[in-house]
Structure 1
């Protein structure tokens, strides 16, 4: 049963995912989308970078986070896309061999139209050492279970 706008509770926190980061995937993603030397040249990265080895592109970290969000929640939610993200931050480099998980906290519900509302949620990605490696606030559009023309004007009870 999909989760609709009405089913989302401000303050709810869910944790999911277990994403194993492989060296091959780090190199493949970076070679295609972010071919900076510290992402694609393990030898040079080991000897010349401040990271002591190759690291995942931040965009790859965002993509892995998105995969865990879809697998853990969004695939079963009545979402119809997003309006963007706020406060996107790369906090700690992600390395081959890391295992990632995410924590998603609902911050706000904003009624927009009779057929949908906006959910603002902070997503934080952690590695196996519980270090926060990535964070963002997503602005996701959720369908309403029963679109009501009056609901868009009378949602004060849903906002906490």
Structure 2
């Protein structure tokens, strides 16, 4: 994919990712390593949980999947360097969910002190196969101009 630079970007541009299939095994594997709570690792405990009422993926796993899908669908030169984010989990992810991300640039500004770079604000919704929003995020990302030398 062609790398995107500051000059290639504009407020209102939209990006759609490919898909990621979440399985029970992936949920449990991620949880065992990074978020070992019963509602992410054990079906019986998850069914008894008053909020989840069934096995649910970690919100941090959803965020990591979102990042993976961004990298594959939004090829910013120099990589996606986050400068802060507001993340909201709207619904739990479940085994057999197929996730995708829809993003829109909502703000773009070139740096006054470093004119070879700028910052964009990207609003994203991570959705499941039923088009239900499981995560929303507003993220600031550093972007480079074409004359920066960044590839």
Using the size of structure 2 for normalisation, the TM-score is 0.89
Which shows bigger deviation, 44-53 or 8-17?
A: 44-53
Unaligned runs of 5+ in 2: none
Aligned to 2:142: 141
Greater C-alpha Rg: 1
2:67 maps to what in 1?
Answer: 66
Large movers: runs of 4+ above 6 Å: none
What is aligned with 1:85?
A: 85
8 Å CA contact 2:15–2:73 kept in 1: the answer is no
Which of 121-130 and 44-53 deviates more? 44-53
Where do 5+ consecutive residues of structure 1 fail to align? 148-160
Who is 1:20 aligned against?
Answer: 21
Whole-Å separation in 2 of the counterparts to 1:114 and 1:34: 41
Q: In structure 1, what is the Cα distance between the partners aligned to 2:131 and 2:52?
A: 19
Q: C-alpha separation between the residues in 1 aligned to 2:45 and 2:24?
A: 15
1:48 Cα offset (Å): 4.1
Q: CA deviation at 1:43?
A: 2.1
Report the RMSD for the aligned CA atoms in angstroms.
1.3
1:100 equivalent to 2:99? Answer yes
Matched with 2:125 is 124
* Shift, 1:5, TM fit: 0.5
Cα separation, 2, equivalents of 1:52 and 1:140: 36
Q: Which residue matches 2:52?
A: 51
TM-score (norm 1): 0.85
1:146 counterpart SS class: helix
Q: Cα distance, 1:40 vs. partner? A: 1.1
Corresponding residue for residue 154 of structure 1? none
